[in-house]
Structure 1
Amino acid sequence: MSEISPARASPSLKLALRFALREMRGGLSGFYIFLACIALGVAAIGGVNSVANSVTAGISTQGQSILGGDIRFQLNQREVDPDERAFLDSKGRVAVSANMRSMARLADGSDQSLVEVKAVDNAYPLYGALQTTPALDHQALFAEKDGAYGAAIAQIFLDRLNLKLGDRVLLGTATFELRSVISNEPDLLSDGFGFAPRFMVSLEGLGAAGLIQPGSLVDHSYKIALPAGETDAAITAIRDEAQKQFPQAGWTIRGRNNAAPSLSANIERFSQFLTLVGLTSLIVGGVGVANAVRSYLDAKRGVIATFKSLGAPGWFVIAVYLIQIVIMALAGILIGLVVAALIPYAAGYALQSVLPIASKGGFYPGALLWAALFGLLTTLAFAILPLGRARDVPATALFREQGFEQRGWPKPIYVVVAVVLIAILCLLAVIFAYDRRIAMVFVGAVAFSFVVLRAVSGLVQWLARRAPRVRSTALRLAFGNIHRPGALTPSVVLSLGLGLTLLVALALIDGSLRQQLAGNLPERAPNFFFVDIQSKQVDQFTSLLQNAAPNGKIVSAPMLRGRIVAFNGTDITKLTIPPEGAWVLRGDRGITYAKTVPENSTLTQGSWWPADYSGEPLVSFSAEEAGNLDLKIGDTVTVNVLGRNITARIANFRQLQWESLAINFVMVFSPNTFTGAPHAWLATLTDPAATSQQEATVMRDVTRAFPAVTTVRVKDAITIANELVGQLAVAIRAAASVALIASILVLGGALAAGNRARVHDAVVLKTLGATRRTLIKAFTLEYMLLGLSTAIFALLAGGVAAWYVIVRVMTLPASFQPEVAMMTVIIALVLTIGFGLAGTWRILGQKAAPILRNL
C-alpha cells in the first residue's frame, strides 16, 4: 500500500486502473446478477432492433417480388381508360390483376365460404414465382376446360368445405375446378391482410363469373417491370409524370422501395414496443445494478477504509471501483450483444415463411451500438449514487460499522450526474422512437412508477413500524425486518413491482378484448354484413331477407369507395398528419350519402342538411377523427371517387359507435354529391335469437339468389379476430416476460445482497435462544408480507393502466378478472418466498463463534 502513501505524489488514474484490475483477480463474486441484468436488457434491445432492420432490409431487397413489379398503379372500382393504359404500357411490361371478396359455394348449394378472389393475367408474376402443389403453368392452372375454369386455392379453403383437388365449386355464375394448392404467392404481403382463404383465377374466369358490376368493391392493380438498370429515381419520375398527366385518376402508386408500407409501419411500431419493453427490463435491471454495487462496496468496506487511512483522495476510491463497474458492464454488454447479433438469424430461420427477413438474418452494427449505449448509460446512472455514498463515508465509520447503509443522499454532484445520465437515456429513447408521443408517455410512466413504488415501500415500512404488538415472536420479527435500517423492502418492491404491473396491465387488456370479442360484442353486433348489392336489387334483396329472417332487423346504405386527397385545397402529402389520424388517409375509405342522420350516430357540432338539399356538396365527418386531423366546421375535404375529385364542405361532426360493429362511415355526404355515380349497397341483418342453423339457411338463400353478393358472417370474422388477438397477446406477453425475468434477477440479487445482514441477525437471535424453526417462520412471514404488498400494488397500478387503455383508448367496457388477480398474487408469493428462503436457508446453519468474533 506504499504506492499511495501521503509522502508520495498524488495517485494517478493509471494507478487506480492497476488497483482495480488487481482487485478483480478475486473473481466476479457479487456481479453475476449485475451481468445478467445488463446482458438481458442489451440483448432484448439489440435483438429487437436487429430483427426490425432485417425485415426492413428484406422488404427493400425483395421489393420487386413483394410488390410484384417495380411500380404498381392501383385503382378502386374502375379499370384504366385507354389513355391511362397506353401510358402504363409505354413504361415497361405490365401485369394486370384484380382483387375482391366473394362467396365460393358447392355446386349443390349445401355450403359456401367467403374467399379472397385474385384474378391474374398471363404476365403474372413479373417477379418471383407462384408456387403451387402440384406445379402447373398458367395455362394448365387457369384455362377453361370441360366447362370449368381453373383455380388455385389455399389449403384452408379445402379444409373448410371438406373438398379435394379436382372438385368443382361455383363462384358467381361460373364453375371453377380446384386444380392446385398455393404454397407461395410472391406478392401476398403487398396485397394486405385477408380474412378469407385465397382463391386465384384468371381475369377471363373472373369476367365469366359476373362478379364485377357497377359499384362492385374491386381493386385493379397494374404492375410494371421497368427496363433493366432503372433506378429508384426513375420510379419517382414515373410517379410524378403520372400524377401530372392524370391528376384525377385516383390511383395509388407504390414503388418497389415501399413495397409493403403497412407491414413496415407495423414492424416499426411493434419493434418500438419491444424496444420499450427491453428498455424497461434494462431500467429494472438498473435497480439490480445499484443493489450489486452497494453490496459489492459493502463487502469492500475494509479495503476502502484502508485506502482512506493511507491518504487516498475520494476521487481515487471512486475511480478504482468505477473502473471495475465499467469493466463488468462492458462484459455484460458484450454478452448481450453476442446474443442480440444471433437473434436475427434465429428469427430468419423461424419466420422466413412469414416475413421477408433479409438473407435469413444479418448483422446490424447500428442496432447493436444503440443497445450498448443504453446498457452503459443505465449502468452508470444507477451505479453513481452508491459510489457517491462510499466516497463520502469516513474511514473511521467504515472500520466501526458493519457497512454503510443508504442513509440520506450523497453530495449534490453525484445526484446531478445521475440525473443527467437518466435524462440522456430518456431523451435518446424519445428521439429515436417511431412514435415520440408514446415514447414520452412511456418515459413518464416509468419515472412515475419508480416514485410510486418508492412511496409504496415507504408506506409498507411505515405500516410495519406502527403495527400493533402481537404475541407471535416470528411475526414480530417479520415486522421488524420489514422496517429496520437496511431492510429489503425498497429493493423487493422496486424490483418485482414494475414487472408484475406490466404483466397485470397486459393480462387485463387481453382479457377484456377477448371478453368483448367472445361475449358482449357478438350480442350487439349484426349477424351478417352483405356487400356489393346492386342498386336495382336492393328491394328484391330486402324482401328475401325479410322472408328468411322475419324477426331480424335490416339496415342498408349506399356505399362507394373514395380516397381523401386534400384538406382545404392542400394535398395531404404536404400536410403533417398526427399518427392517431393517419389511418383515415391510408388508402380508400368506404363513403356513403344520406338524407337524415344515420343510425348509431349523434350530432355533436353543426347541423344536418335538409332532405331535399341541392346546394354545394356537404359532408358529415366523424368527430373523433376530425379532432385527430384538426378539422373544423367549414373546412373542405376533397375525395377521389371513380377517377373524379369531389370537394365537399364539412357541415357537421358525428359521434360514432364503432364498437357496435353496425354500419358506420367516417364520411357521410349530402345525397346530391354523387348523383348519377354507379355504386353498390351495403346491408346488415341483426337477429340475436337466430340459431346457427337459421344463419346457415340465410347464407345459403342469399348466395343462391344473389351469387355476386358477398356475405360476411360476423361471428366468423370475430373468431378470426379473436385468434389474431390471442396470437398477438402471446407474443406481447412473451416479450413483456423479459421485464419480469429482469425483475426476478433483481429480486434474487437484492435478497442475496441482504444475506450479510441476515447472517448477523440469525446468529444474534440464535444466541439469544431463537430456534431455526422460529427464524424460518419469521423470514417466511416477512417475504409473504412483501410479496402481498407488491402484488396489491401491481393489481392497482396495472388495473388503472389497463382501464385507461380499454376505456379511454379503445372505448370498450372494462371488466374485473379475478383469475388475473389470483395469478398475480401467486406469482408474487412464489417468487418472494421461494427466492427468499433459498437464500436464507443456507445462512441459518452458520456457526455463531466466527460471526460473533467479528462483531
Structure 2
Amino acid sequence: MSGFVAGTGRAGQQTFRLAARFALRELRGGLRGFYIFIACIALGVAAIAGVTSVSRALTEGISREGQAILGGDLSFRLIHREADEDELTYLQDLGSVSRVATMRAMARLPEAGDQALVELKAVDGAYPLYGTVDLTSGMSLEDALAQKHGLWGAVADPALLARLDLAVGDTVSLGRGTVRIADTIAVEPDKLAGGMEFGPRLMISDAALPSTDLVQPGSLVRWHYRVRMDPAPSLERLEGVVEDARGAQPDAGWRVRSRANASPGLQRSIDRFAQFLTLVGLTALVVGGVGVANAIRAYLETKREVIASFKCMGATGGFVFQVYLVQMLILALIGIAIGLAVGALIPFAAAAALAGVLPVKLAASIYPGELALGLVYGLLTALAFALWPLGRAHDVPPTALFRDIVTGGTKLPRKRYLAATAVTVAVLAAIAVTLAHDTRMAGIYIAASAGAFVLLVLVARLIMAVARRLPTVRSTELRLAIANIHRPGALTPSVVLSLGLGLSLLVALALIDGNLRRELTATIADKAPSFFFVDIQSHERDAFEALLKAEAADAELQSVPMLRGRIVSLNGIASEDFVPAQEGSGWVLRGDRGITYDASLPKNSKLVEGDWWPQDYAGVPLVSFDAEAATDLGLTIGDEITVNVLGREITAEIANLRDVEWQSLAINFVMVFSPNTFAGAPHAHLMTLGWAEDVPAESELALLKTVSNSYPTVTAIRVKDAISQVNDLVAQLAWAIRGASSITLIASVLVLAGALAAGHRSRIYDAVILKTLGATRTRLILAYGLEYAILGLTTALFALVAGGLAAWYVVTQIMDGSFVLMPVTAAGAALVALVLTVGFGLIGTWRILGEKPAPVLRNL
C-alpha cells in the first residue's frame, strides 16, 4: 500500500504517476456526466479565442491595407487653410503628393425643393496614390469627374441617389454651382480614414471646387495632403519622418499620420469592442465554472464508494485529490481543445460572413498568441472552480463520505485549497485587467462580476433560509415545492448561480441600451435645437439672421463665432506625450476641436471655479475649460494650453472652469477663449435655431428649403435627422452586443441543464417513494413546477436588481446621463428565467416520473 502514501521528491513523483494511472483507468468508462463540463469550458474558450482572433484579424487587415486606407504612406491634415509654399515644397521633397479637400455641404434640387447633407470630397488628378476607386459602370474616375458640356462631373454614394430620387446623368446643385452625377461609387479605398460620416459621399474634382463657392475664409474644410514615398519605407523610417515633419514645420499645425495608424478611430473601436467581448467570454467561463463545480460534485458523489475503498486501503487524502485533479485537467483540456478549434475557425467564418459588410478585409489566419490566451483562461477557470469540491474530498473519512448524501457536505476544504482557489481567481482577474484596452473599465467589470457571484451565493442561501422558516401551507404540492428548495442537496444554489450572472448581464445591457435610446429620442430631442447652420460667413451673418427671424419669428436663435483648432501642448508637454490623469476625456487631445471666443459666460454653461474675464479684457490670452475634461486631464486654473489655429500657435492661460450641458446639443465648446485671442482672424459663424414647442415637420422642411436656396453655401443640419442616424447606429451596436452577450446566457442554460441533471439521482428516489405512498404524476409535476417557478422568479428578481444597479452606474456615472427603470425589461427577464427553469425542470421531471419503482426500491 506504500504507493498510496504521499511523499516528496522521487516518492512524490511516483505517487503522482500512480494517481495519473488510476485517473486514466477510471476515465475508460467514458465521459458520461461530463458533457456539460466540457461544453461549458469549450464555449468560454471558443468565445475568448474567437473574439481576440477576429480582433487581431481586423487589426492585421487595417495594417496590411494601411496605405490604401490612409491614401498614402503619410497624411498631413490642415483645418481651414491650404498648405503654404514652404510646406508644400517640404511635402514634395518627401515623395509624390496628392491633395484632397473634405467638408460637409448641402446637395440640392432647387426645383423640387429637396436637399441632403453630403460628405463632399474634392480630389486632384493624382488621387488615389494607393488602391483604386471602382465605379459601378466601370468608368474611370478621371472621365467621371471631367467637365463636359459646361458641367463638372461627380460620383456619389448610391444612398444619395436613393435619398434625392436621382439617377445617373441628373444634375444637383452644390453651393453656387451645379454638377452632373456621372456614376456611383462601388469602392472608395480611403473611406475609413475619414472617420464618422453624417451623410452620403459626393466626390468631385478639385478643379470643380471653386465653382461651388463653398471654400471661404474660415470655412470648415479639411485639406489632406497624402504622400507616397518611393521606395516604400519601413514603419521605423515612417516614424522618423513623422518626427522630422513636426520639427521641420513646427508652426504648420498639421496632424500627421502614417500608414501604421491609418484609421485610429476604427482601431480604438475594435480594441474596445474586443475587450468587451473578451470580458463577456470570461463571464461565460465563470458561469461555466459553476457547471464545472456542479459536475465535479455530482461525479464525486457517485465515487463515494471508490474513494472510501482507496482510504480503507491506505490512500491519503492527497492521493485522492491528485487522482480526481488529473481527471479534471484531462476533461478540461478536452473542452479547451474543442474551444480552441472553434475559436481558430471563427476568423475565417467572420471573414466570409462579413466580406460585404466591413469596409476592410479581415486578415483571417490562425493566431497562436490569441489561442494561447484562451488556453490560459480555460485552465485557470477550470482550476478555480474545481479546487474547492476536489479539496473537500481530501481528508474526509470514509464514514463521512457515506453520510455526505444526507448531510449535504457543507464542510469547508482545507486552507491550502481555499488559498489555491483564491490565488487562481486573483491571477485570472489580474490577467484580464492587465491585457485590457481600458484597465479601469475592465477592473469595474471584474469587480462587478465577482460581487454578483458572491451576492448570488448569498441570495441562494437567503432563499433557502426563508423557505425553511415559512409556516406550513395547506397545499401539498406547494409544501413539497418549498421543502425541495431548502432541503440538503437542494438545487437552489446551482439554479440561482447558473442563471443569475447571465440574466444580470443581459438586463444591464438592455437597460443601458433603452436609456441611451430614451436620452437620444426623448430627453436630448426635447432640449436640442431644430437646426445647426454651419459656415455662415461674417459678411452674410446679419442678413442670414434676419432671414431666420422673418421665416421663424417665434424660434430662438443663438449665434457664435467658430474656428477649429488642435491642442498641441499642455503646460509645455506635447499632446502626443501628455498622459491624462484619467482616461475619460482623452478624446479632447485627439484631432481638432471646435473653439470659440466670447466676452460673456455662454448660456449653456455654469461657472464652477475661477472668474470670467471683463467685457473689455485686453491682456494675455485666457481660456475657459470644461471642468470634467480638465479634471480628467489633470488641469487646474493657471495651467497653460497651446492650440494651433490657422497655422498659428496660441498659448492661453486657464482662467476658469465651467460645467457644460452637453446633453442639450446646444452650442457648447470644450474651450472658450477671451475675445482678444483671435482678433482679426478670419472665421465663420455657427447658428442654432429651435422652437420652444414642437412644430410640424413640414414647417422645418419649408424653412430648410428657403435657407438652402437663399444661402447655398451654408450647411444646414436638421438635428432630428442626425439623432435618427445616431439612434440607428446605437440600435445596430446594441443588437451586436446583445448577440455577443448571449454567449453568457447559453453558458447559463448549459449549467442549468447540468445542475438539473446532477439532481436527477436524488429526485428519482423522491419520486419513487412519493408514488409508492400514493402521489399522482400530476401532483408531482405541479410540485416540481412550483419549485422551479419560485426559483426562476427569485433569480429574475435578483437579475433585475443587480443588472439595474450596474446599468444605473454605467449610465449615470460613466455616461453622465439620466436613468429610469424600464418595466418591460423586468418582465422580459422574469419570462426568460421562468421559461428556462420551468422548461428544463419539467423536461427532467418527466423523465424522472417515467422511472420504474422496482429497481430503485431494491437498491434502497
TM-score, normalized by length of structure 2?
Answer: 0.97
Partner of 1:155: 158
- Tell me whether 393-402 or 786-795 shows the greater mean CA deviation: 393-402
For the pair 1:680 / 2:684, whether they are aligned, the reply is yes
Name which of 614, 617, 625 aligns with 2:629: 625
Partner of 2:856: 851
Partner of 1:799: 804
Q: Is the 8 A contact 2:106 2:117 kept in 1?
A: yes
1:403 Cα deviation from its structure 2 partner: 6.9
1:369 Cα deviation from its structure 2 partner: 0.4
For the pair 1:29 / 2:21, whether they are aligned, the reply is no
Distance 1:525 1:358, change over 3 A: closer
- Tell me whether 158-167 or 447-456 shows the greater mean CA deviation: 447-456
Partner of 1:663: 667
Partner of 1:268: 271
Q: Partners of 1:428 and 1:399 in 2: how far apart?
A: 40
Q: Deviations over 1:5-25 (max 9, x none)?
A: 99x999732222222111111
Aligned length: 854
1:736 Cα deviation from its structure 2 partner: 0.8
Partner of 2:737: 732
Residue type of the partner of 1:742? Answer: A
Name which of 249, 254, 258 aligns with 1:255: 258
Matched position secondary structure for 1:434 = coil
Name which of 469, 482, 485 aligns with 2:488: 485
Matched position secondary structure for 1:126 = coil
Q: Partners of 2:532 and 2:4 in 1: how far apart?
A: 84
Matched position secondary structure for 2:94 = coil
Distance 1:10 1:256, change over 3 A: closer
Partner of 2:771: 766
1:2 Cα deviation from its structure 2 partner: 11
**Mapping for residues 681-760 of structure 1, pairs under 5 Å:** 681-687=685-691, 688-760=693-765
Name which of 329, 342, 345 aligns with 1:342: 345
Partner of 1:654: 658
Q: Is the 8 A contact 2:5 2:316 kept in 1?
A: no
For the pair 1:239 / 2:278, whether they are aligned, the reply is no
1:360 Cα deviation from its structure 2 partner: 4.6
Matched position secondary structure for 2:857 = helix
Q: Partners of 1:83 and 1:417 in 2: how far apart?
A: 66
Partner of 2:791: 786
Partner of 1:93: 96
Q: Is the 8 A contact 1:617 1:672 kept in 2?
A: yes
Matched position secondary structure for 1:515 = helix
For the pair 1:203 / 2:218, whether they are aligned, the reply is no
Q: Partners of 1:426 and 1:806 in 2: how far apart?
A: 24
**Mapping for residues 142-221 of structure 1, pairs under 5 Å:** 142-221=145-224
Q: Partners of 2:523 and 2:2 in 1: how far apart?
A: 79
Q: Partners of 1:378 and 1:439 in 2: how far apart?
A: 17
Residue type of the partner of 1:138? Answer: L
1:240 Cα deviation from its structure 2 partner: 2.1
Q: Is the 8 A contact 1:235 1:255 kept in 2?
A: yes
Q: Partners of 2:100 and 2:459 in 1: how far apart?
A: 62
Q: Partners of 2:400 and 2:804 in 1: how far apart?
A: 46
1:466 Cα deviation from its structure 2 partner: 1.1
Partner of 2:534: 531
Name which of 431, 450, 453 aligns with 2:453: 450
1:302 Cα deviation from its structure 2 partner: 1.4
**Mapping for residues 64-83 of structure 1, pairs under 5 Å:** 64-83=67-86
Matched position secondary structure for 1:712 = strand
Q: Partners of 1:439 and 1:371 in 2: how far apart?
A: 17
For the pair 1:543 / 2:552, whether they are aligned, the reply is no
- List runs of 5+ in structure 1 lacking aligned partners: none
Q: Deviations over 1:426-470 (max 9, x none)?
A: 111111111111111111111111111111111111111111211
Q: Is the 8 A contact 1:122 1:138 kept in 2?
A: no
Partner of 2:843: 838
1:771 Cα deviation from its structure 2 partner: 2.1
**Mapping for residues 118-137 of structure 1, pairs under 5 Å:** 118-137=121-140
Q: Deviations over 1:89-144 (max 9, x none)?
A: 11111011000000010142511110000000000000001011112223311111
Q: Deviations over 1:452-493 (max 9, x none)?
A: 111111111111111121101111111111111111111111
| Fraction of identical pairs, as percent | 55
Q: Deviations over 1:718-739 (max 9, x none)?
A: 1101100000000000011111
Q: Is the 8 A contact 2:567 2:643 kept in 1?
A: yes
Matched position secondary structure for 1:30 = coil
Matched position secondary structure for 2:89 = helix
Distance 1:545 1:238, change over 3 A: same
1:690 Cα deviation from its structure 2 partner: 2.1
1:246 Cα deviation from its structure 2 partner: 1.2
Q: Is the 8 A contact 2:60 2:362 kept in 1?
A: no
1:768 Cα deviation from its structure 2 partner: 2.7
For the pair 1:826 / 2:831, whether they are aligned, the reply is yes
For the pair 1:418 / 2:417, whether they are aligned, the reply is no
Q: Deviations over 1:594-629 (max 9, x none)?
A: 011111111011111111110110100011111111
Distance 1:823 1:484, change over 3 A: same
Residue type of the partner of 1:475? Answer: L
Q: Partners of 2:401 and 2:771 in 1: how far apart?
A: 26
Matched position secondary structure for 1:468 = coil
Q: Partners of 2:227 and 2:363 in 1: how far apart?
A: 27
1:574 Cα deviation from its structure 2 partner: 2.1
Matched position secondary structure for 2:339 = helix
Matched position secondary structure for 1:182 = strand
1:815 Cα deviation from its structure 2 partner: 2.0
Q: Is the 8 A contact 1:109 1:700 kept in 2?
A: no
1:816 Cα deviation from its structure 2 partner: 2.6
Q: Is the 8 A contact 1:622 1:667 kept in 2?
A: yes
1:303 Cα deviation from its structure 2 partner: 1.2
- List runs of 5+ in structure 2 lacking aligned partners: none
Q: Is the 8 A contact 1:54 1:357 kept in 2?
A: no
Q: Partners of 1:585 and 1:775 in 2: how far apart?
A: 66
Q: Partners of 2:378 and 2:40 in 1: how far apart?
A: 9
Q: Partners of 1:51 and 1:791 in 2: how far apart?
A: 33
Matched position secondary structure for 1:204 = coil
Residue type of the partner of 1:839? Answer: G
Residue type of the partner of 2:94? Answer: K
CA-based RMSD of the aligned residues comes to 1.7
Q: Is the 8 A contact 2:4 2:319 kept in 1?
A: no
Q: Partners of 2:57 and 2:254 in 1: how far apart?
A: 30
Q: Partners of 1:532 and 1:666 in 2: how far apart?
A: 19
